[in-house]
Amino acid sequence: MSMKQHISQLLEQVGQMQAQNMEDLEALRIKYLSKKGEIANLFSEFRNVAAEEKKEYGIQLNELKNLAQQRFDALKAELDLKREQAEKQDLTRTPDPLPLGTRHPLSLVKEEIIDIFSRMGFTVAEGPEVEDDKHVFGLLNFAPEHPARDMQDTFFIDKQPGVQRPEDVLLRTHTSSVQTRVMTTQKPPIRVLCPGRVYRNEAISARAHCFFHQIEGLYVDKNVSYADLRQAMLYFAQEMFGPDTKIRLRPSYFPFTEPSAEMDISCNICGGTGCSFCKGTGWVEILGCGMVDPNVLEACGIDSKQYSGYAFGLGVERITNLKYRVKDLRLFSENDVRFLSQFTAC
């Protein structure tokens, strides 16, 4: 094969060089560009070329060498870029770009409330959502004619033909039913927190829903006083809404506590000076509380002369509204991703 044919053949090979990895590229370098490679051998043969042909062959050899070097550099740049991109890839990600989910605002607030009371020694207790009249009303000092038992407030479960039930079955209207189950099965001291979903027969609107979430607390032991209740509520309010938060307890009525109170906090928007949110009063109601009625203790098998206790209950939606300024209660149950995505960083 003449030198001219050899140069033409190498030009074609160099123009088609491909490399899948650095090992392939190194093999091409050794074959064409090393000191013992194809192009170096041609330069060694160049001294045997006739003088009148040296110029022509010299130009062709230089073009071949330059083309080989350019092609080698281009392939190396491609492989380096692929390697950099591969190093930046997160191999733990899924093939499809799925967005990360968010935690529901009610879950965030519920866990924060539980965390605050757990520092005071409260443990979580849970119970069934489908309950009986005894645990929802009977043991909590509700009179038989109490309006809360009426169909306007409570969802009763229809009795099935042939199924014998000792009493009415219903969807619990408060998580106090969990407290009665704890008091009838455990001996004091009792210090429990009862989170869960409850149901009431109400029209659905921006301010009300037929189901919502409560967290109720119960502390029963010897020498539990109203001062203990007030201090626990103050600690919760300041941990939840800030150290400058003030509380006030207004006399109220609940069948299962005596004395009973509604608790307000100083408005966390205006600081108590008065605004549209607190209707100019400087106070916002957040929960109900009181000392456990002795009748409730006795009904649950606890000696009211030896033990006393306090109880409280708050709506998770209510606290969430105060914390995140959510104006429509229905947003919590509609699962609109536009609403939920606002809590990604929470």
Share of the chain above pLDDT 90, in %: 42
* H/E element, 231: helix 226-241
Please state whether beta strands 211-221 and 123-124 pair in parallel, antiparallel, or not at all (unpaired). unpaired
pTM of the model: 0.67
Quick check: 62 pLDDT over 90?
no
Cα distance between residue 122 and residue 192, in whole Å:
5
pLDDT value, residue 11: 81
Task: State the pLDDT confidence band at 165, using cuts at 50, 70 and 90.
Answer: low
Q: Which amino acid is at 249?
A: L
Rounded CA-CA distance 138/146 in Å is: 11
Query: Please, which pLDDT band fits residue 161 given cuts at 50, 70 and 90?
Result: low
112 compared with 64, residue with greater pLDDT:
112
| Model confidence at 209: pLDDT above 60 | yes
CATH topology of domain 105-158+165-343: BirA Bifunctional Protein; domain 2 (3.30.930)
3-class secondary-structure state, position 52: helix
Give the mean pLDDT of 46-68. 79
> 147-151, 195-199, 266-270: which range is least confident on average?
147-151
Q: What pLDDT score does 293 carry? A: 96
Highest mean pLDDT among 11-20, 22-31, 158-167, 221-230: 221-230
Q: Band of the pLDDT at 250, cuts 50, 70, 90? A: very high
Tally of CB atoms within 10 A around 281:
13
Q: How many residues does the structure list for the chain?
A: 346
pLDDT for residue 14: 81
Biggest CA–CA distance in the chain, Å, is: 127
Chain Cα centroid distance, residue 231: 30
> Which segment of 51-65, 106-120, 226-240, 323-337 scores lowest on mean pLDDT?
51-65
What is the 8-class DSSP label of residue 47? Answer: G
The closest of 97, 102, 108 to 338, measured between CA atoms, is 102
**Segment 101-144, tens digit of pLDDT:** 778 899 999 999 999 999 999 999 999 999 998 999 989 988 88
Contact 260, 176 (CB under 8 A): no
Is it the case that residue 65 has pLDDT exceeding 60?
A: yes
Q: Answer with the residue of higher pLDDT: 89 or 115.
A: 115
List the domain boundaries for the chain: 3-88, 105-158+165-343
Mean pLDDT score of the chain: 86
